[in-house]
Amino acid sequence: MPLPLAGITILSLEQFGAGPFGTVHLADLGARVIKIEDPTTGGDVGRYVPPFAEGEDSLFFETFNRNKESISLDLNTVAGRETFEQLVAKSDAIYSNLRGDVPAKLRITYDDLKHINPAIVCCSVSGYGMTGPRAKNPGYDYMLQGLAGWMSLTGEPDGPPTKSGLSLVDFSGGFVGALALVSGVHAARRDGIGMDCDVSLFDTALSMTSYVGAWHLTGGHTPIRHSHSAHPSLVPFQVFQTQDNWIVIGCAKEKFYQRLCEVLGRTDLMTDPRFIDFANRYENRDLLIPQLDEIFVTKSTQEWLDLLMPAGVPCAAVNTVEEAFKDEHTISRQMIAHTEHEIFGSVRTPASPVNVGPKRIDHTRAPHRGEHTIEVLQDLLDLTDDQIAALRSSGAFGDAS
């Protein structure tokens, strides 16, 4: 049974994190993702990111590029550009994560390519988008977490502005880029007309302020940070220190708070007018939380889980990364992708969470730079050995040998 996106071909001018994170899920779902790597710059910079980097490969690169192909092509040469345009005629989409003004400079926008393929979809993922006063600025996850207000929301109340432990703007932007591309391809196959997809990491980060942004924009709310990663409005919904570690408790419904009080043997906290409902607990969190702190520190995390989970109280251990990947649910959900690599041996990376149809288990390692150049040109363009040799001599692949 074909994978869901089998039959879609994507030419990708991508590097580092946000771009490749978006297309790795498309590749996992069966799309043919062909990375066009610039032979004059060493290709995708992600190849060289430490730790666990050797030569032109790294575990960072492996994580973002499984199930993809790579061709070396210098678009600044006449032959390289001509070859690229021939590939455009045979493809469904062009995907890039470059500075917002660069797609126009490289002539990879819809207006640049529609005469070659009227149905081509040109998806750009950039820091600030292709328009606006910051379009020419480079944008990276860290600075976007700051600019979009995320850092002001994260960390302890008396601590410095804090970023997320993961590059969530990059990853979210990759997902948005993948969604935009698939939507564009669907519309192009329906209507026969392609388009530009302008995905901004800044827009993505701003949109993810979600209800906090709505509270501010509509109600003039000024968000503040709460201790112990507490939810801004639901109480209790945060981490608590236990005898040996930490535990997350989430009372997102009144019934969960009632169950919690029963397990704790503190039904008085359930009937106390100050804590009787969401609104009152929100107003009196500084009175309630210290009492819960004193209780949770009396038992280990596992002891609390054994009591709370059977009672139907939403809770979870605060795992290390090692513990998270050893969790029985991780194994059951097949959330580790396995590939074999000449240098790194058996490579295990987090699998895609996008489950459409059967779970893909036959993954291939990330490509070596230019590994599939000949194969792709023969397959998509039916080029002969002599034609490929002529392209090589002209410098299209980055060398004149």
Catalytic residue ranges: 231
CA distance 147 to 110: 30
Are 253 and 260 in contact by the 8 Å Cβ rule? The answer is: no
- Give the number of other CB atoms < 10 A from CB of residue 153: 17
φ and ψ at residue 130, rounded to 5 degrees = -90, -5
Q: Which helix (H) or strand (E) covers residue 381, if one does?
A: helix 373-381
Structure tokens at 352: 């895609």
Are 341 and 62 in contact by the 8 Å Cβ rule? The answer is: yes
Are 254 and 278 in contact by the 8 Å Cβ rule? The answer is: yes
Task: Give, in degrees to the nearest 5, the angle at Cα 105 between 16 and 172.
Answer: 35
Tokens 């992600």 belong to residue: 46
Half-sphere exposure of 235 (CA within 13 A, CB side): 25
Are 32 and 87 in contact by the 8 Å Cβ rule? The answer is: no
CA distance 111 to 209: 33
Are 197 and 129 in contact by the 8 Å Cβ rule? The answer is: no
Are 248 and 315 in contact by the 8 Å Cβ rule? The answer is: yes
CA distance 132 to 124: 15
Are 262 and 270 in contact by the 8 Å Cβ rule? The answer is: yes
